[in-house]
Structure 1
Amino acid sequence: MSTLYAWVVPAYSSGSPVDHTWVTTYDSRQQPYRDIAEVKQAGEDNWYCWGSFHPTGGTPGNPDGYIGSQTGDRGIAECLVLPNADSNTNAAARGTIFTYGIDGVCHQLANQVLYATKANGSPPMTVKAARGYAISTFLYGTYGLQHAAWQSKLQACAGVQPMTRLPSSTEERVEHLPDDFENHARQVLSEKPELLDKLLALRAEVNTFAAQKVPGFFPPDAALLNARNQHLLDQAAVLLGPDEFRNVFGIEAGERIDIVDPTVLGQPIE
């Protein structure tokens, strides 16, 4: 058993309203390792989560970038997502977020690592305190859009330890997988059940659409993915109206927010 820590920095630019998230087995507030070599030498883990190595975290209003920690099964976490490896160059470090910006982004991959904190009777920790999380989970869900692959991954990693805290059957896994966006929306729109139902129906359509492969010979670039995502968010703004949209998503209706980091795809920032 180990403690897993979740961290944030602004995504791809200091002024970004969205956070990049990653996970470690150590508290970087107490031990800020300078590079991944030091992490490995100390016998610790750092899950890049489709980002680069960060010695410490930090965002406006959160100087150390710490957003939570919880005891977890390190063996399962390492099975679900390979630690101490770059997601861009090592497929095992991607979990089931196989294609960044299509299957999910860093939030979903960090959540896959943190699934190892699931205990009997209590849900796993997620990075729901990260900025932009409501937007990310509206588009990609809690664990990404590769649902069948994620279920298979959970089943495979359940055999890492003889005694595991992962659910024992496929049905139980499906039933108990957290849906952070739905939980958040239900809380915000608790007094407007009809509007909630319409938003969740739209969200189901959004996930289905986002999971479709973009036609063409080459993977779509960040600009195209962000334009698509913006269009999907704009549909939610039309449905909810400006006040409820702000309450649910934390941004103004019509405000442009790029959830897909172009630097992860090796592209310049516009």
Structure 2
Amino acid sequence: MTPSVNLYAWAVPAWSSESPVDHTWVTSYDNQVHPYSTIADVVVAGQSFWYCWGSFHPQGGTPINPTGALGQQSGNLKLAQCLVQPNADSNTTPAARGKIYTYGVDGVCHQLANQVLYATANGSVPPLTVSKARGYPLSSFIYGTYGLQQTAWAAKVASCSGAQLVARLARPGGLTVVAGGEGIAVDEFERRATEVLATEPAKLASLLRLRGEVQRFAAQPWPGTGQPSAEALNARNQHLIDEAAKLLGPEHFRKLFGAEPGAKVTLVDPRTAATAGEFPPPKPR
């Protein structure tokens, strides 16, 4: 019998209390009820904690969300554990990175948390995501829901669950992943943009075209060897977000992204990027 448990998504401010972006992670337990103080305590209790490119946090909490709770949903525990290894630091354990091989290049904590939470999909019920985290609309604009390693992610889901996912070009050019045939589309950004720009189809088409260009650009291998710096990644991301602001105008940008046009955005944590190893070596995407 497939073990079903509630999976919980959490947030804390990313890399400073003033940050407008949240770090996210996932647990198999409610940390408001069981605030385990160490990862060793989690393991002894037979529970799972997914680091998601962060450190261990007994509990969550942000300036606008006292508990840091982003949602909970019943899921397949074995599937979640297969997709991303729990109770292991993403910096030192490749299997704990899911298909976010290179932090800041393939995605950030939001996309890795979503990979764990994919295990909460059930038939017509879409999987839980960390969409309530601050900064999520910005990260999903660039990295999508599950990161830029689309083909590798689809293959991982197939190997862990038997479900077939297909990496395809979203309308009219962004990358997305869909369950085979008539399955659930999982590109949240496109869905939200369609809602916000419902009365402006030409602007929506232009935004999605830009987003397709953004994702193709972001997925290109970096020149040279080694991982690009957080400064370089954040500068690139800032440029792409500023281009969206120019296209949308202030009102639509605020509504879609939850941020002010021109605001400095730091999606990639410099500390995490500085310590993140890369596995496997980068390959053409």
Could you tell me the TM-score, scaled by structure 1's length? 0.93
Cross-structure match for 2:231: 223
Correspondent of 2:111 among 81, 100, 108: 108
Distance apart, 1:266 and its partner CA: 2.6
Matches within 5 A, 1:172-211: 173=179, 175-211=183-219
Instruction: Point out where structure 2 has 5 or more consecutive residues left out of the alignment.
Output: 168-177, 276-285
Distance of 2:225 and 2:43 partners within structure 1: 39
Q: String of CA shifts for 1:119-152, please: whole Å, max 9, x gaps.
A: 0111111000000000000000000000000011
C-alpha separation in 1, matches of 2:237 and 2:229: 12
In structure 1, the residue matched to 2:171 is none
- Determine the structure 2 residue equivalent to 1:249: 257
Could you list the per-position Cα deviations for residues 48-71 of structure 1 after superposition, in whole angstroms to 9, with x for gaps in the alignment? 000000000000021111110000
1:1-270 mapped onto 2 (5 Å cutoff): 1-158=4-161, 167-168=163-164, 170=166, 173=179, 175-266=183-274
Worse-matched range after superposition: 248-257 or 17-26: 248-257
Give, in angstroms, the shift of residue 187 of structure 1: 1.1
Residues 17 and 169 from structure 1, CA distance in 2 versus in 1: closer, same or farther, beyond 3 angstroms?
closer
TM-score normalised by length of structure 2: 0.89
SS at 2:179 equivalent: helix
Greater CA deviation, 212-221 or 85-94? 212-221
Deviation at 1:73, TM superposition (A): 0.1
CA distance in 1 between partners of 2:257 and 2:187 (Å): 15
Which 5+ residue runs of structure 1 have no aligned equivalent?
160-166
Letter paired with 1:133: Y
Inter-CA distance 169–86: structure 2 relative to 1 (3 Å threshold): closer
String of CA shifts for 1:216-269, please: whole Å, max 9, x gaps. 2231100000000000011111111111111111111111110001111237xx
CA RMSD in angstroms, aligned pairs only: 1.3
Consecutive aligned runs of 4 or more in structure 1 exceeding 4 Å deviation: 168-172
Q: Which moved more, 1:174-183 or 1:200-209?
A: 174-183
Number of corresponding residues: 260
Percent pairwise identity: 57
- Displacement of 1:169: 6.2
